[in-house]
Amino acid sequence: MARPTPELIDALRRTARKVADGAPYQWGHMGSCNCGNLAQELTRMTKDQIHQYAMQRYGDWNEQVADYCDTSQLPFDVIINQMLGAGLSLEDLKHLEKLDDREVLRRFPIEARFLKHNRRDDVVAYLNEWANLLEEKLLEKIKLPAELFDLQVA
């Protein structure tokens, strides 16, 4: 599971909002699919730049993630590297493309867990719920000093 950071949580929510508001979404396009839309937020590249770099190799996001090399300096590996630097793991990218991370899906009611990986509304719901999960994990790590809880009555 991704490393919960305020920046990643914000990027997930921005991506969900952008897709919900009608940003280009096409599951078969490497720059405007599930991972592609998040990559736009994390790298500040356009969908066309991401897609162009992806076409220098073969395969979809899952295949390119499987072939990822952190030292290759191939443009698409650099994109993946930036996403990993933001707190994501290779597994997170695979799950995002298929909307199938069990920890995220368990948060949905049973009847709503069967998300379609190429349906805009399902992508938005998954991104928002993933952001909520990461935010909860981040908040669990925050320890406030005990003296903040000591209320003195005058």
Reading the chain (154 residues) residue by residue, the pLDDT tens digits are: 888 999 999 999 999 999 999 999 998 898 999 999 999 999 999 999 999 999 888 889 999 999 988 888 889 999 999 999 999 999 999 999 999 999 999 999 999 999 999 999 999 999 999 999 999 999 888 776 666 566 555 5
Q: Please report where in the chains the tokens 């709503």 appear, as a residue.
A: 112
Whether 135 maps to a domain, the answer reads yes
Whether 20 maps to a domain, the answer reads yes
Whether 90 maps to a domain, the answer reads yes
Closest to 16 (Cα-Cα) out of 48, 41, 50, 51:
41
Whether 35 maps to a domain, the answer reads yes
At 27, list the tokens: 């599951």
Whether 40 maps to a domain, the answer reads yes
At 57, list the tokens: 């190799």
Q: C-alpha distances in angstroms, 142 versus 88, 135, 139?
A: 20, 11, 5
Whether 1 maps to a domain, the answer reads no
Whether 154 maps to a domain, the answer reads no
Number of domains in the chain: 1
Domain range for residue 78? 6-149
What is the model's pTM? 0.87
Closest to 56 (Cα-Cα) out of 33, 79, 24:
79
What secondary structure letter does DSSP report for 29?
S
Whether 59 maps to a domain, the answer reads yes
Closest to 80 (Cα-Cα) out of 98, 96, 61:
61
